[in-house]
Amino acid sequence: MNDQMTSLRKRGKMNNGFDPASAAALDDRTRDFVERRARLLGPAYRLFYSNPVEFTRAEGVFLYDAEGRDYLDAYNNVVSVGHCHPKINAAISDQMGRLCTHTRYIQDGILDFAERLLDTFEDDIGHVMFTCTGSEANDLALRMAKYHTGNEGIIVTSEAYHGNSELTSGFSPSMGENTPLGTWVRRVPAPDTYRTDAEDLGAWMVDHVERQINDLQRRGQGVAAFVADSLFTSDGVFDPPPGVLAQIVERVRAAGGLFVADEVQCGFARIGSHMWGYQRHGVVPDIVSMGKPMGNGYPVAGIAVRPEVAAAFGNDMRYFNTFGGNTVAMAAAQATFDVIEEEGLQANCARVGALLEEGLQALAAGDERIGDVRGAGLYYGVEMIRDPESRAPDGARALALVNELRARRVLISATGFHGNVLKIRPQLVFRPEHVARFLEELNGAMKAVA
Ligand SMILES: Cc1ncc(COP(=O)(O)O)c(C=O)c1O
């Protein structure tokens, strides 16, 4: 890692974050915005790209800047069924015009949506609870896991991100060295399919998990939960073969802990083969947390949970979230779900994702700077390396590519500890022509970033 990356990491680095020290290089309008933001919002917010971009409107898979130029959105996991989808807009404004209230009155919308959502999970999962953000969902999941197991320890992967609250940032190591981790948190490496042989991966992961379990037990903390995003997206996007996750979960359960599947990134049809990322691994979680794409931009999130895990927590305490599960949130979530089904978006992710993967693999085959292409459905990581022998991560090149693509009006970002993995996460409504434009620009960017 070079000095600049080291210092960014210490300051709360973000892969692909704009460095305010380079503001002098911006055009007048952008610089004014950057300075105004810093003055009004303070120093904690980060912008994307070395040349931050301003958008004024959006539609489908495109965002438009102030001059009306279109940018292909190959990164958006919030407005994931298309920017400004008319059906969802109509459902939100219609509901807002009739009634918007919380969960302490009887309403059918929340029950209709709960029924529909529960149908997508295995029978063992019997309740859903609603929050506004993924952080709140994970916060609730972990409070429940701790209460149910009577244990404190949480095991996560080394670059995991699970949220921004006091509790969840405490088990989100990717926030950087200045964000304190809980003393009850233990880290294991992500299942690195690029640097570990597939047949060894399961045993290698279980060995790491086992050591952390032993340490937690020795200190009297025990294991409350293993929390994982099944595509390990902030670790650099890893797609371990089915079986690896199941082995880990078996070991965690034997130690009295739960498995919390964080589906904030890969849930809601994105992986193509299934509705939920964990479902590819033949393991049923104790708690599933969800968020981001759930309301196509409207803040709605939540957990799905086995009734026996929710029982004591719910009976001994109560849960109220003023905005979580409100009438409009449920209308937004229901309409988003309608669109996923009516437009066949899960199948679209599988079909269009296969085209994307094929194109990325073809590019990788002819370019030694790409070490690995991995992912599922419409979520891919492309790992940039210095050379095939050392496989040393090349974060600088990945960053240059991300910025070159931004100059070509294509939006992606970078992920992983070294920021050397291109993070490609198009909207679920990507079509073959969008893949073609994406690959053409990536090809051009690879040539430009020599
Ligand atoms: C895997 C994962 N979990 C949880 C969260 C937190 O969600 P939110 O930003 O809605 O609080 C995120 C957000 O990026 C995430 O990627």
Protein residue closest via CA to atom 13 of ligand 1: 163
Look-up: residue for tokens 């980060």? 46
Residue 6 scores a pLDDT above 80: no
117 pocket-lining for ligand 1 (C-beta < 6 Å): no
Name the residue of 140, 264, 298, 415 whose CB sits within 8 Å of the most ligand 1 atoms, as the mutation to test its pocket.
264
Percent of the chain, pLDDT > 90?
94
The mean pLDDT value for 392-417 works out to 97
> What DSSP letter does each residue of 181-234 carry, written as one string?
PPTTEEEE----TTTS-HHHHHHHHHHHHHHHHHHHHHTT--EEEEEE-TT-TT
Give the residue extent of every domain in the chain.
53-81+345-448, 86-342
DSSP-assigned letter for residue 107: -
Condensed to tens digits (0 to 9), the pLDDT of residues 179-208 reads: 999 999 999 999 999 999 988 999 999 999
Q: Atom of ligand 1 at shortest distance to CA of 136?
A: 11
Tell me how crowded residue 311 is: count the other CB atoms within 10 A of its CB.
14
Residue 1 scores a pLDDT above 70: no
The mean pLDDT value for 297-325 works out to 97
Contacts (Cβ under 8 Å, ≥6 apart) of 110: 103, 130, 325, 327, 330
Percent of the chain, pLDDT > 70?
97
Are 322 and 289 a contacting pair, CB within 8 Å? Answer: no
Q: How far is the CA of 293 from the centre of ligand 1 (A)?
A: 11
> Which residue type does 10 have?
K
Q: How far is the CA of 102 from the centre of ligand 1 (A)?
A: 23
418 pocket-lining for ligand 1 (C-beta < 6 Å): no
CA distances from 313 to 229, 345, 439 (A): 24, 36, 49
Q: Atom of ligand 1 at shortest distance to CA of 233?
A: 1
The mean pLDDT value for 406-435 works out to 98
Protein residue closest via CA to atom 9 of ligand 1: 134
Condensed to tens digits (0 to 9), the pLDDT of residues 67-126 reads: 999 999 999 999 999 999 999 999 999 999 999 999 999 999 999 999 999 999 999 999
139 pocket-lining for ligand 1 (C-beta < 6 Å): no
Q: Please give the Cα distance from 255 to 214 (Å, whole number).
A: 9
264 pocket-lining for ligand 1 (C-beta < 6 Å): yes
Condensed to tens digits (0 to 9), the pLDDT of residues 347-377 reads: 999 999 999 999 999 999 999 999 999 999 9
Hey, which residues does 421 pair with through a beta bridge? 383, 415
Q: In this structure, which CATH number among 3.40.630.10, 3.30.1330.30, 3.40.640.10, 3.40.50.300 belongs to the domain 86-342?
A: 3.40.640.10
pLDDT of amino acid 9: 52
CA distances from 140 to 22, 299, 314, 418 (A): 40, 16, 11, 31
Residue 417: closest CA among 222, 177, 249: 177
165 pocket-lining for ligand 1 (C-beta < 6 Å): no
The mean pLDDT value for 428-440 works out to 98
Residue 236 scores a pLDDT above 70: yes
Class of domain 53-81+345-448: alpha beta
* pLDDT-based confidence at residue 13 (cuts at 50, 70, 90): low
pLDDT of amino acid 279: 97
163 pocket-lining for ligand 1 (C-beta < 6 Å): yes
